[in-house]
């Protein structure tokens, strides 16, 4: 079977007259428009929080947006939004609307598609020193403990 080549994903910035939140992205996924906050992406998938599902899943959209605003203003280029939710203990609340979109079926995106290289080990190996025994001719001096 011959694999059908899918068109490349078109990523556009927000229009100049856009007055909304800068971290919100409109995805065209399987010919449907889906309003999301993209958490992260890789070469195969886009991961994000689908704002369109908030009402159906009983998710407090106001808390989600306010947390995202604070994250964006402070840390937008440092780590994904899901880490901010985890730090604040909100992961369980918002996991219901966290979805994975296969890039093959996303034809267009208006807004940011951040990429944070997660799971890539920066350290290849760690060299550990062997524990050496203290020689008997070395004197061990115990310091007095201070009272706290």
pLDDT, residue 134, reads 80
What single string gives the DSSP state of each residue in 39-89? Answer: EEE-SSEEEEEEGGGTTTTT--HHHHHHHHHHHHHHHTTTS-HHHHHHHTT
* 66-70, 88-92, 108-112, 138-142: least confident range: 138-142
Q: Token pair 């007259």 is at which residue? A: 17
Top-confidence range, 2-16, 59-73, 109-123: 59-73
Residue 148: pLDDT band by 50, 70, 90 thresholds? low
pLDDT at residue number 109: 94
Write down the pLDDT at residue 133: 82
The pLDDT confidence band at residue 99, using thresholds 50, 70 and 90, is: very high
Which residue, 62, 58, 137, is CA-closest to 93? Answer: 58
Residue 61 confidence (pLDDT) above 90: yes
Which tops the pLDDT comparison, 87 or 118? 87
φ and ψ of 124, to 5 deg: -80, -45
- When pLDDT is cut at 50, 70 and 90, the band that residue 3 belongs to is low
- Total residues belonging to the chain: 148
d(CA 55, CA 60) in angstroms, rounded, equals 8
**pLDDT tens across 100-139, in order?**
999 999 999 999 999 888 766 555 666 777 777 888 888 8
User: What residue ranges do the domains of the chain occupy?
Assistant: 1-148
How is residue 136 written in tokens? 């008997």
How confident is the prediction for the chain on average, in pLDDT?
Answer: 86
Structure tokens at 25: 């992205």
Three-state DSSP state, 104:
helix
């Amino acid at each position: 079977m011959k694999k059908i080549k899918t068109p490349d994903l078109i990523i556009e910035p927000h229009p100049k007259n856009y007055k909304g939140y800068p971290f919100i992205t409109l995805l065209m996924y399987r010919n449907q428009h889906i309003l999301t906050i993209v958490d992260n992406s890789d070469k195969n998938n886009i991961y994000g929080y689908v704002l369109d599902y908030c009402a159906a899943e009983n998710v407090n959209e106001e808390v989600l947006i306010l947390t995202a605003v604070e994250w964006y203003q402070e840390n937008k280029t440092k780590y994904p939004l899901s880490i901010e939710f985890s730090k604040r203990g909100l992961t369980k609340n918002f996991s219901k609307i966290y979805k994975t979109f296969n890039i093959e079926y996303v034809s267009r995106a208006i807004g940011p598609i951040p990429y944070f290289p997660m799971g890539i080990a920066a350290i290849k190996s760690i060299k550990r020193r062997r524990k050496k025994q203290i020689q008997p001719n070395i004197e061990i001096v115990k310091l007095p403990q201070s009272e706290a």
